Amino acid sequence: MKNKYMFGGAIIVIFLVIMSYLFTETNISYEENFSEIINSSKTMKATGSWVKEKNYFVDKSKKEFSFYMKDFLGNEMKVIYNGTIPNNFESATSVVVTGKYKNGYFHADDILTKCPSKYEEQFDQSKKS
Amino acid sequence: MLGNIVITIGFLAGLFAFFMYYLTYKGYSNTLGKARIGFHVAAMMTILASLILVHAVLTHQYQYKYVFNYSSSGLSTGLLLSTFWGGQEGSFLLWTFFTAIIGIILLEYTSKRGDLEPRVMMIFTLSFTFLLVLVNPLLKSPFNYLWMEPNFIELKHINSQFLSMPFMQNFMFEDSAGGKSFVRMDQQLYAQLMASGISFKQFIIDGKGLNPLLQNFWMQIHPPILFVGFAMSAVPFAFANAALIKNDYKDWVKQAFPWMLIGTMVLGLAIMLGGYWAYGILGWGGYWGWDPVENSSLIPWLVGVASIHTLLIQKKTQSSGGAGRFVKTNIILAMMTYILVLYSTFLTRSGILGDASVHSFAEPGMLVYLLLVIFMATFLLIGIGGFIYRWKALNSQFENEESILSRELALFTGAVALLASAIIVFAGTSAPIFGKTVEIRFYDELNLPIAIIIGLLNGLSLVLKWKTNKSQELWKKIISPIVISLILTTAVVFIGNVYNFMLILLSYSSIFSIVVNFEIAYRIARKKALSLGAYIAHIGIALFLLGVVATGGFSQEDSIDLEKGKTSSIFGYDVTFLGFNRIENSEKYAFNLKIEKGSSSKTISPVMYVSSINNSLMREPDIWTMITRDFYVTPLSYTDGASENSSNGGTSVTLKKGDYYDFKGNKITFESFNFPADAMSAMMGGGNFTIGAYLLVEANGKKYNVEPKMNSTGGNKEYVSVEIKDVDLRIEMTNLDASGSVGLTISSLSNKVEEIQQVPKEVLSIEASIKPFINLVWTGVLLMVAGFIISAVKRTKEV
């Protein structure tokens, strides 16, 4: 009887330890301040906006898409993404890129563009403010 | 207005029924009839409200904000019906609707079984009433009028003949950034319209339309089935709670069992239909992406399946006369299933997942957020409270008489493994609450060993007898399945080149469970057909897991550019881009691809279009489904040749007037267009014209003025590039834009590809992939559903 609970308890503890280890290992946090990203080697989700003045570049031979992104403080960094330009990149209000900062660039594995889905609502808010 | 009145009456009737059931339980003799009337009135009002919404959608009643926001006049009847659940309000009403239907059946079922009705229906009516609060006019009613709160409406939705009315000037707004005009629709404007004798039906001519991702068959059936599953999950909760109220834990197991089976079956089917939608329509390229919205309905399903297994043990161990084993576990699991459904609703509807999910759900507002929290907390407290209140009695039910080698223990271990999986998914899915997400591998790596364990138990538990087993006897029975599956697995490993250790283990455990289940199913097929359910479901889950091994471990994908008319080869398939044709009123483009392998071939047509509803480029995949694999194509982009002359190895940039680009130390500035005065009229008239771009190139301290050009002769565009030999530079104009930006391809002359193709080419870029044995995934799920149905029939007969 006692052994049974010891055994069950041990399995639960081992399970929880492995799960929390992998959780801390794989969790990705959102970061709005790019200076934090530049000083970290972890995979992060950077949220900011595209620097329109600096355009974007498509290198067809390398299948590479790159652009500059800035955070709310105005910090800029160059983002490189191996893939095609996402839908609606030009009209996106904000961009979320997932990846790591390495060798002076942010290497994105994934780009999520956020578009004003309901244009009127945004218009509504700007009217109020 | 009528809809809101109906919903309010329904809510009051629900509340009344709840109190009447409570009084009946307390011993009043004359309240049961009133309670039943109350419940039926609430249910009828819900059904009536749903019919009113269906009617409003079908007849385009755009005075309702909900109908205006999610539907439009051009939709087919099937799609119009699915606008019912296209938005939050309607999908809450759909959930309430199915809860009403299930409630009517449940009332009938419980009324025939002794004193069950007041206890069960009291709890069920409470959850029904909560839903009716959610759809009330102050929160999420689909019957609120468009003008009750100010709304900015684009001019295209409004009948233009009224725009010139003098009072309209006070309601028109110009958005300078987007260059669009809006009409502010509010109560004042509505009063003005009425005063001028303009009916609202004349004023608004069309709605905003349905999200293009929802405009397909799968979205017509996935949400209703999901909400049937959600509605049914409240039933085991009510039964478990009724058991706590009476302090009797024997009968509820049998009574709740068929409900649990059907509810879990429906939920599982709905989850997989959502997966098929993601695969066939959304173009995820897979059936499962561990997206938080998918996960949130998987969690209650896993707990539901676990509870089916522990309920079965309790039922089997009741033969000795007592309540059976796992009394506490079963009460907790039955209640958790429903609480997790509520948690799922909270996650997906509160706006918390906003950043983490591809499913976009708008913020519902503070009131709804609070109500969802209260809803969830109430049922959690009812559950925990009842449990603590009966703690002593529950503990005295404890029966302990197990040997290690018993089917009970194997089933229990299986349930624990399912719960572990549920906890993993729960932890990962809840991370967005703390502003984090987890990588996909968190789910993959943790669930893989659990899937292996589940596969093994799936076979082992059936070989074991109830209570005790002699190890010698067991060994005799199990040796042949072990050997047979070892041989089969070896074959799979070598034929399929499976060299990942974990995947080999998962293949083995799945094959083992198929062998065992198949053997038993074959033996009993003729004698006890209704007992086949469990075996069929188990073969289903094992086939599903094999499908996961194949698609998860051995899918190949790559992107490829297809030039029109030329045949390219990918993964051993020859692919030819035949051209495109316009479909669905010329709104969409279908790109026809001929795929050939050996003697068989098929033409598939992935689709791209720009949706007018969200102004997004939508891509729809197409699939060549074969028995052993799918050839899956997602379109990426298309260039029609006019702008794509040759971009071999160059860098493409887009520059606005005054912008520069730094190419290998050469600064290239776009100064202005050379746009001759006659070019505009020639462009309009279809004549010949030339447009150039003045560029300033600064290199090695020198400045060069160059002008790449575009010649248009009879509609054919030709681009003339410039070369600066001194600085090893070639610049070509690829695109020009009326807004004042120019597209350039810049390359070095030294590594320029020699032949510059003068013939314009049409190029379609696609992502192609091979999904081996994905049919096992679908077959597995369908078998699982079939197995559940057979078991439910059997268990219903037992009650």
DSSP secondary structure of B316-341: HGGGGSS--S-HHHHHHHHHHHHHHH
- The pLDDT, as a whole number, for residue B784 is 95
Please list every residue in chain B whose beta carbon sits closer than 8 Å to the beta carbon of residue A50: none
> Six-digit token pair at B797?
């007969």
What DSSP element (H or E) covers A11? helix A2-26
Q: How far is CA A79 from the centre of its chain?
A: 11
How confident is residue B467, by pLDDT bands cut at 50, 70 and 90?
Answer: confident
How confident is residue B378, by pLDDT bands cut at 50, 70 and 90?
Answer: very high
Residue B422 and residue B378 in contact, taking contact as beta carbons nearer than 8 Å: no
User: How far apart, in Å, are the Cα atoms of B118 and each of B263, B467, B769?
Assistant: 22, 36, 56
Task: Name which residue leads in pLDDT, B428 or B435.
Answer: B428
What CA–CA distance (Å, rounded) separates A76 from B786?
A: 56
- The pLDDT, as a whole number, for residue B31 is 93
Residue in A28, A115, A120 nearest the CB of B439? A28
User: How far apart, in Å, are the Cα atoms of B756 and each of B256, B647, B667, B746?
Assistant: 74, 9, 25, 14
Residue in A53, A55, A87 nearest the CB of B617? A87
Residue B38 and residue B13 in contact, taking contact as beta carbons nearer than 8 Å: yes
Give percent of chain B above pLDDT 70. Answer: 91
Closest chain B residue by Cα to residue A118: B614
- The pLDDT, as a whole number, for residue B343 is 94
**Taking 50 as the threshold, does the pLDDT of residue B358 lie above it?**
no
**What is the average per-residue pLDDT within A105-118?**
72
Q: Is some CB atom of chain B closer than 8 A to the CB atom of A72? A: no
Q: How far is B297 from chain A (nearest CA, A)?
A: 21
What CA–CA distance (Å, rounded) separates B559 from B553?
A: 19
Residue B15 and residue B128 in contact, taking contact as beta carbons nearer than 8 Å: no
What CA–CA distance (Å, rounded) separates B55 from B655?
A: 52
- Cα angle, residue A56 at apex, residues A51 and A59 outer, rounded to 5°: 155
Please list every residue in chain B whose beta carbon sits closer than 8 Å to the beta carbon of residue A18: 446
Please list every residue in chain B whose beta carbon sits closer than 8 Å to the beta carbon of residue A56: 654
Q: Which amino acid, one-letter code, is at B232?
A: M
Closest chain B residue by Cα to residue A65: B652
Lowest average pLDDT, out of A107-121, B41-55, B81-95, B151-165, goes to: A107-121
How confident is residue B650, by pLDDT bands cut at 50, 70 and 90?
Answer: low
Residues 6+ apart with CB under 8 A from B463: B474, B477, B478, B481, B516
Q: Is some CB atom of chain A closer than 8 A to the CB atom of B175? A: yes
pLDDT in tens, B531-566: 899 999 999 999 999 999 999 888 888 888 888 888
Q: How far is A91 from chain B (nearest CA, A)?
A: 10
Residue in B420, B431, B654 nearest the CB of A27? B431
Q: Which residues of B218-250 are buried (b: 16+ CB within 10 A; e: fewer)?
A: bbbebbbbbbbbbbbbbbbbbbbbbbbbeeebb
- The pLDDT, as a whole number, for residue B386 is 93
Task: Name which residue leads in pLDDT, B682 or B446.
Answer: B446
Please list every residue in chain B whose beta carbon sits closer than 8 Å to the beta carbon of residue A60: 647, 649-650, 652
Name the B residues in 444-463 with CB < 8 Å from any A CB: 445-446
Q: How far is B354 from chain A (nearest CA, A)?
A: 10
Q: How far is B158 from chain A (nearest CA, A)?
A: 15
Interface touch A119/B178, C-beta < 8 Å: yes
- The pLDDT, as a whole number, for residue B198 is 86
Residue A93 and residue A114 in contact, taking contact as beta carbons nearer than 8 Å: yes
Torsion, Cα of B131, B134, B137, B141 (10° steps): -90
> Six-digit token pair at B641?
């040749």
Lowest average pLDDT, out of B650-659, B670-679, B750-759, goes to: B750-759
What CA–CA distance (Å, rounded) separates B235 from B106?
A: 8
What CA–CA distance (Å, rounded) separates B540 from B266?
A: 15
> What helix, strand, coil percent values describe chain B, rounded to 5?
55, 20, 25
Interface touch A55/B656, C-beta < 8 Å: yes
- The pLDDT, as a whole number, for residue B201 is 85
Residue B43 and residue B101 in contact, taking contact as beta carbons nearer than 8 Å: yes
User: How far apart, in Å, are the Cα atoms of B76 and each of B89, B220, B306?
Assistant: 21, 12, 41
Mutating which of B153, B182, B404 best tests the A interface, going by the most A Cβ atoms within 10 A? B182
Please list every residue in chain A whose beta carbon sits closer than 8 Å to the beta carbon of residue B178: 119, 123
**Taking 90 as the threshold, does the pLDDT of residue B706 lie above it?**
no
- The pLDDT, as a whole number, for residue B574 is 92
DSSP state of B496: H
Please list every residue in chain A whose beta carbon sits closer than 8 Å to the beta carbon of residue B154: 119-120
Mutating which of A63, A68, A123 best tests the B interface, going by the most B Cβ atoms within 10 A? A123
Closest chain B residue by Cα to residue A95: B355
**Taking 50 as the threshold, does the pLDDT of residue B129 lie above it?**
yes
- The pLDDT, as a whole number, for residue A128 is 31
Residue B312 and residue B319 in contact, taking contact as beta carbons nearer than 8 Å: no
Name the B residues in 563-622 with CB < 8 Å from any A CB: 614-617
> Six-digit token pair at B156?
């295209």
Residue B131 and residue B99 in contact, taking contact as beta carbons nearer than 8 Å: yes
Q: Is some CB atom of chain B closer than 8 A to the CB atom of A57? A: yes
pLDDT in tens, B242-279: 999 999 898 999 999 999 999 999 999 999 999 998 88
**What is the average per-residue pLDDT within B776-781?**
95
**Taking 70 as the threshold, does the pLDDT of residue B301 lie above it?**
yes
| Three-class SS state of A35 | helix
pLDDT in tens, B173-201: 876 656 677 888 888 888 888 888 888 88
Residue in B442, B559, B615 nearest the CB of A26? B442
**Taking 60 as the threshold, does the pLDDT of residue A127 lie above it?**
no
**What is the average per-residue pLDDT within A66-74?**
86
What DSSP element (H or E) covers A44? strand A44-50
Lowest average pLDDT, out of B39-48, B212-221, B257-266, goes to: B212-221
- The pLDDT, as a whole number, for residue B342 is 95
Q: Which amino acid, one-letter code, is at B402?
A: E
Beta bridge partner(s), residue A30: A45
Residue B142 and residue B387 in contact, taking contact as beta carbons nearer than 8 Å: no
Interface touch B446/A22, C-beta < 8 Å: yes
Find tokens 């109830």 and name the residue. B466
pLDDT in tens, B517-529: 998 898 888 888 8
- The pLDDT, as a whole number, for residue B176 is 61
Q: How far is A68 from chain B (nearest CA, A)?
A: 13
Lowest average pLDDT, out of B309-323, B339-353, B428-442, B736-750, goes to: B736-750
Residue in B178, B428, B651 nearest the CB of A59? B651
- The pLDDT, as a whole number, for residue B624 is 93
Residue in A18, A30, A63 nearest the CB of B355? A30
What CA–CA distance (Å, rounded) separates B347 from B373?
A: 10
What are the DSSP E strand ranges found in B611-688? 617-620, 622-625, 629-639, 651-656, 660-663, 666-674
- The pLDDT, as a whole number, for residue A91 is 67
- Best-predicted range by mean pLDDT among B344-348, B551-555, B770-774? B770-774
Q: How far is B391 from chain A (nearest CA, A)?
A: 20
- The pLDDT, as a whole number, for residue B38 is 97
Q: How far is B32 from chain A (nearest CA, A)?
A: 46
Name the A residues in 5-44 with CB < 8 Å from any B CB: 15, 18-19, 22-23, 25-30, 43
- The pLDDT, as a whole number, for residue A1 is 56
Q: Is some CB atom of chain B closer than 8 A to the CB atom of A115? A: yes
Residue B25 and residue B116 in contact, taking contact as beta carbons nearer than 8 Å: no
**Taking 80 as the threshold, does the pLDDT of residue B443 lie above it?**
yes
Task: Name which residue leads in pLDDT, B617 or B454.
Answer: B454
Residue B218 and residue B276 in contact, taking contact as beta carbons nearer than 8 Å: yes
- The pLDDT, as a whole number, for residue B138 is 86
- The pLDDT, as a whole number, for residue B646 is 43
**What is the average per-residue pLDDT within A99-105?**
86
Residue in B151, B436, B651 nearest the CB of A28? B436
**Taking 70 as the threshold, does the pLDDT of residue B689 lie above it?**
yes
- The pLDDT, as a whole number, for residue B318 is 84
pTM (predicted TM-score)? 0.83
Task: Name which residue leads in pLDDT, B472 or B591.
Answer: B591
Strand B556-563 with B436-438, pairing: unpaired
Q: Is some CB atom of chain A closer than 8 A to the CB atom of B436? A: yes
What DSSP element (H or E) covers A106? strand A105-114
Interface touch B616/A88, C-beta < 8 Å: yes
pLDDT in tens, B607-646: 988 877 766 678 889 999 999 899 999 888 887 765 444 4
Residue B128 and residue B103 in contact, taking contact as beta carbons nearer than 8 Å: yes
Closest chain B residue by Cα to residue A121: B152
- The pLDDT, as a whole number, for residue A63 is 73
Q: Which residues of B638-658 are buried (b: 16+ CB within 10 A; e: fewer)?
A: bbebbbbbbbbebbbbbbeee
How confident is residue B686, by pLDDT bands cut at 50, 70 and 90?
Answer: low
Interface touch A28/B559, C-beta < 8 Å: no
Beta bridge partner(s), residue B638: B764
Task: Name which residue leads in pLDDT, B771 or B434.
Answer: B771
Lowest average pLDDT, out of A69-73, A79-83, B45-49, B321-325, goes to: B321-325
How confident is residue B400, by pLDDT bands cut at 50, 70 and 90?
Answer: low
Please list every residue in chain A whose beta carbon sits closer than 8 Å to the beta carbon of residue B431: 23, 27
**Taking 70 as the threshold, does the pLDDT of residue B212 lie above it?**
yes
Please list every residue in chain B whose beta carbon sits closer than 8 Å to the beta carbon of residue A120: 151-154, 182
Name the B residues in 642-701 with CB < 8 Å from any A CB: 647-656, 659, 661
- The pLDDT, as a whole number, for residue A126 is 34
Mean pLDDT score of chain B: 86
Lowest average pLDDT, out of A97-101, B119-123, B421-425, goes to: A97-101
pLDDT in tens, B383-398: 999 999 998 888 887 6
Q: Which residues of B188-204 are buried (b: 16+ CB within 10 A; e: fewer)?
A: ebbebbeeeeeebeebb
Residue in B182, B438, B649 nearest the CB of A123? B182
**Taking 60 as the threshold, does the pLDDT of residue B65 lie above it?**
yes
Q: Up-side HSE of residue B52: CA atoms within 13 Å toward CB?
A: 20
Count CB atoms within 10 A of the CB of residue B25: 20
| Three-class SS state of B211 | coil
- The pLDDT, as a whole number, for residue B433 is 82
DSSP for B237-306, written as a single string: HHHHHHHHHHT--SHHHHHHHHHHHHHHHHHHHHHHHHHHHIIIII--SSS----HHHHHHHHHHHHHHH
Closest chain A residue by Cα to residue B608: A87
**Taking 50 as the threshold, does the pLDDT of residue B69 lie above it?**
yes
Mutating which of B446, B453, B669, B766 best tests the A interface, going by the most A Cβ atoms within 10 A? B446
